[in-house]
């Protein structure tokens, strides 16, 4: 397969959750395209998706060596720092990502995640996170995954109807999205449980 065919196949596999297949395809492809930043960054993404953080860091670093402006590799590195709690480094990488791709919703969501990862960040940086999440949505209003990620960012510190509204917008675009369906059930169940407790409390009084 040609490099682009390898990349397209691996990308589709990761999207489908077939990270093992993607990693195998990319490993084989890199045997003949060892200087491909695109394939190295896709490998890093697949490894991150399978929670092999050490391998993902190595592959992302290799992609950056070949192409310092590779945005997918920067995305992987930023998320690795977020998971590690290294928020200063995460902010540095996310800011670089934003400079390279200011119209990419993922860049804004990544920056928001860096703010949320700070100590008590979801509440302390609530407005910054909210603005970044909604700006990402404005850049890609018809993308259910962007809406889901925005809802996840807002969930800890914003009104539940607002979060549910984003989830419902995503489901209107993709009714069979299981992640959004589960999120809606979880949020609706929690809201109903709280309302039942409040009603019981009033009745007891």
Q: What is the pTM of this model?
A: 0.87
As a dihedral over the C-alpha atoms of residue 27, residue 29, residue 35, residue 36, rounded to 10 degrees, the angle is: -100
User: Residue 1 has what pLDDT?
Assistant: 73
**Residue for token pair 């979801």:** 122
Integer Cα distance of 39 and 9 in angstroms: 11
| pLDDT at residue number 101 | 97
In this predicted structure, what is the pLDDT of residue 191? 56
Evaluate if residue 46 carries a pLDDT over 80: yes
Compute the distance between CA of residue 39 and CA of residue 58 in angstroms, rounded to an integer.
13
State pLDDT tens for residues 61-101: 999 999 999 999 999 999 999 999 999 999 999 999 999 99
The pLDDT value recorded for residue 109 is 98
Question: Closest Cα partner for 61 from 77, 79, 43?
Answer: 77
Give dist(CA 173, CA 34) in Å, integer.
Answer: 39
Would you tell me how many other CB atoms lie within 10 Å of the CB of residue 69? 13
Using one digit for the tens of pLDDT, what is the confidence trace for 149-199? 999 999 999 999 999 999 999 999 999 999 999 999 988 886 554 554 444
- Is residue 205 over pLDDT 70? no
| Alpha helices (runs of H) in the chain, residue ranges in sequence order | 3-15, 19-30, 37-49, 53-66, 71-84, 87-100, 105-116, 121-124, 126-139, 144-154, 160-173, 178-204
Q: How far is CA 80 from the centre of its chain?
A: 12
pLDDT digits (tens, 9 = 90+) for 98-129: 999 999 999 999 999 999 999 999 999 999 99
The tokens describing 14, both together, are 């990761």
Distance CA 201, CA 194 (A): 11
């Amino acid at each position: 397969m040609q490099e682009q065919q390898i990349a397209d196949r691996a990308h589709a596999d990761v999207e489908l959750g077939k990270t093992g297949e993607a990693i195998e395809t990319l490993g084989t492809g890199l045997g003949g395209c060892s200087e491909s930043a695109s394939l190295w960054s896709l490998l890093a993404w697949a490894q991150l998706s399978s929670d092999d953080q050490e391998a993902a860091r190595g592959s992302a670093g290799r992609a950056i060596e070949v192409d310092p402006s590779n945005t997918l590799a920067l995305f992987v590195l930023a998320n690795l720092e977020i998971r590690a709690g290294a928020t200063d480094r995460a902010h540095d990488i996310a800011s670089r990502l934003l400079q390279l791709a200011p119209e990419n919703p993922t860049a804004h969501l990544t920056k928001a995640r860096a703010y949320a990862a700070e100590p008590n960040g979801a509440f302390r940086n609530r407005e910054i996170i909210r603005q970044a999440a909604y700006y990402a949505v404005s850049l890609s209003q018809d993308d259910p995954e962007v809406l889901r990620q925005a809802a996840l960012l807002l969930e800890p510190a914003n009104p539940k109807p607002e979060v549910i509204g984003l989830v419902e917008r995503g489901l209107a675009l993709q009714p069979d999205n299981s992640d959004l369906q589960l999120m809606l059930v979880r949020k609706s169940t929690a809201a109903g449980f709280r309302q039942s407790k409040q009603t019981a409390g009033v009745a007891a009084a």
